[in-house]
């Protein structure tokens, strides 16, 4: 099935500067939002605390819920509507977690019903996470995302450039450096940023051009998704980390399809300019890319609309990830190959000029 004709010749590469500018603007907006809000808004999984989901038989306001639960001494941070408004369901978040809250469900129900006897209350779930556990989970989540990217670099370098050994050595070196810096006391987010910068530098030095294109595209996808979450004031929880890892895999799948065609066409049309080969390859795989993206979007949009509040944020992250991942495979990963080639050519020209 082809939704786009095979002889399509859209000039994607010619618009790469506009695409780069748009991506940089989106990433900058996301970073500004994160900085302004003091970092990501962590859910209970990472920040620690207590979350309670309650359902009422009649309409009630968040303020009324807060007032009714003051005797429980939960240190409530927020009360927000959850799911469809007609269900009168709310999520109550509290900073306090202790053994004294073991009977929290019964206390909440008792206080709410005594304050609003006409309203039937159902406590649907109570979750508690200690602050130390939350911090540990947060660090492991960041390491999981970085480890996935690192392993993908090894795979891309081995498959497309047959440079298994340099990529393995680079990955092993980064892990050793990361562990060494961690012992010094640097925080995990700073370590990840340093490791990503070192990865890009080593990839350029070792001439791992396909790996460079893939890693830049993956960083692009994760940063834009995180920025959108910050702008929409959504929480980062364990399901969202699972969504980010899924996005990384999905985006890479699209990128590999395009890279595979670039490699084939580089051999077939080796006399043509590299940018022409890349543009041809993107157009030839465009039908498959769009078909895959649309069928995936149908599923995640269905989850977003019909899946309920529990997986609402997960589905939202997947929608953003699929759209941005498809975009980055066309406008980021492949054009990075051209930028890499141009940078290498400039370095070569300078070295030859010095020899003369």
pLDDT of residue 242: 85
312 pLDDT more than 60 = yes
| Residue with more model confidence, 13 or 77 | 13
Tell me the average pLDDT of the chain. 81
CA distance 224 to 19: 14
CA distance 160 to 252: 13
| Helix 238-268 and helix 131-161, axial crossing angle in degrees, nearest 10 | 10
pLDDT of residue 98: 58
CA distance 277 to 267: 10
Within 13 A of 301's CA, how many CA atoms are on the CB side? 8
CA distance 56 to 81: 11
CA distance 275 to 151: 28
Residue 157: partners with Cβ closer than 8 Å, 6 or more residues away: 163, 164, 166, 167, 208, 210, 211
CA distance 137 to 217: 26
pLDDT of residue 43: 76
| Residue with more model confidence, 139 or 339 | 339
Helix (H) or strand (E) holding 191: helix 188-205
pLDDT of residue 88: 82
Quick one: average pLDDT of 71-96? Answer: 77
Widest distance between CA atoms in the chain:
91
pLDDT of residue 352: 58
Q: Which of 113-117, 281-285, 341-345 has the highest mean pLDDT?
A: 281-285
- Per-residue pLDDT tens for 224-273? 998 999 898 888 888 888 888 888 888 888 888 888 888 888 888 888 88
Domains in the chain with CATH codes: 13-42+133-350 (1.20.1640.10), 49-129 (3.30.70.100)
- Per-residue pLDDT tens for 108-163? 888 888 888 888 888 888 877 766 666 777 777 777 777 777 777 788 878 777 77
Owner of token pair 């786009």: 4
335 pLDDT more than 80 = yes
Question: pTM (2 decimals)?
Answer: 0.79
| Residue with more model confidence, 30 or 47 | 30
Q: Which of 64-78, 93-107, 149-163, 322-336 has the highest mean pLDDT?
A: 322-336
- Per-residue pLDDT tens for 161-218? 777 887 787 777 777 777 776 777 666 667 777 777 777 777 777 778 888 888 888 8
pLDDT of residue 27: 92
Quick one: what percent of the chain has pLDDT higher than 70? 89
Of the ranges 80-89, 100-109, 212-221, 336-345, which one carries the lowest mean pLDDT score? 100-109
Confidence of residue 2 (pLDDT cuts 50, 70, 90): low
- Tally of CB atoms within 10 A around 100: 10
The 3-class secondary structure across 72-95, one letter per residue, is HCCCEEEEEECCCHHHCEEEEEEC
| Residue with more model confidence, 289 or 144 | 289
Q: Report yes or no: 338 and 15 within 8 Å, Cβ to Cβ.
A: no
- Residue 122 dihedral angles phi and psi, to the nearest 5°: -125, 120
């Amino acid at each position: 099935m082809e939704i786009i004709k095979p002889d399509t010749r859209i000039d994607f590469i010619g618009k790469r500067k506009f695409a780069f500018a748009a991506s940089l603007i989106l990433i900058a907006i996301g970073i500004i939002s994160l900085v302004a809000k003091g970092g990501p808004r962590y859910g209970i999984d990472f920040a620690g605390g207590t979350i309670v989901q309650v359902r009422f038989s009649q309409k009630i306001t968040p303020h009324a819920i807060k007032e009714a639960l003051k005797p429980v001494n939960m240190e409530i941070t927020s009360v927000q509507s959850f799911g469809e408004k007609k269900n009168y369901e709310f999520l109550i978040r509290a900073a306090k977690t202790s053994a004294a809250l073991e009977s929290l469900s019964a206390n909440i129900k008792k206080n709410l019903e005594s304050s609003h006897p006409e309203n039937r209350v159902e406590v649907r779930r109570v979750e508690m996470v200690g602050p130390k556990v939350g911090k540990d989970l947060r660090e492991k989540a960041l390491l999981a995302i970085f480890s996935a990217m690192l392993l993908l670099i090894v795979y891309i370098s081995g498959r497309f450039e047959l440079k298994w050994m340099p990529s393995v050595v680079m990955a092993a070196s980064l892990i050793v450096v990361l562990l060494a810096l961690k012992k010094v006391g640097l925080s995990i987010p700073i370590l990840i940023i340093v490791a990503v910068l070192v990865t890009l530098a080593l990839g350029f030095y070792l001439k791992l051009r396909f790996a460079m294109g893939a890693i830049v595209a993956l960083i692009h996808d994760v940063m834009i998704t995180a920025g959108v979450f910050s702008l929409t004031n959504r929480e980062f929880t364990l399901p969202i980390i699972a969504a980010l890892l899924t996005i990384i895999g999905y985006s890479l799948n699209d990128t590999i399809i395009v890279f595979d065609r670039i490699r084939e066409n580089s051999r077939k049309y080796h006399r043509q300019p590299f940018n022409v080969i890349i543009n041809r390859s993107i157009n030839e795989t465009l039908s498959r890319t769009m078909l895959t993206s649309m069928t995936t979007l149908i599923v995640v949009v269905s989850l977003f609309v019909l899946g309920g509040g529990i997986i609402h944020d997960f589905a939202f992250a997947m929608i953003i990830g699929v759209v941005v991942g498809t975009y980055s495979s066309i406008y980021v990963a492949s054009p990075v190959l051209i930028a890499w080639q141009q940078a290498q050519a400039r370095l070569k020209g300078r070295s030859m000029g010095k020899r003369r």
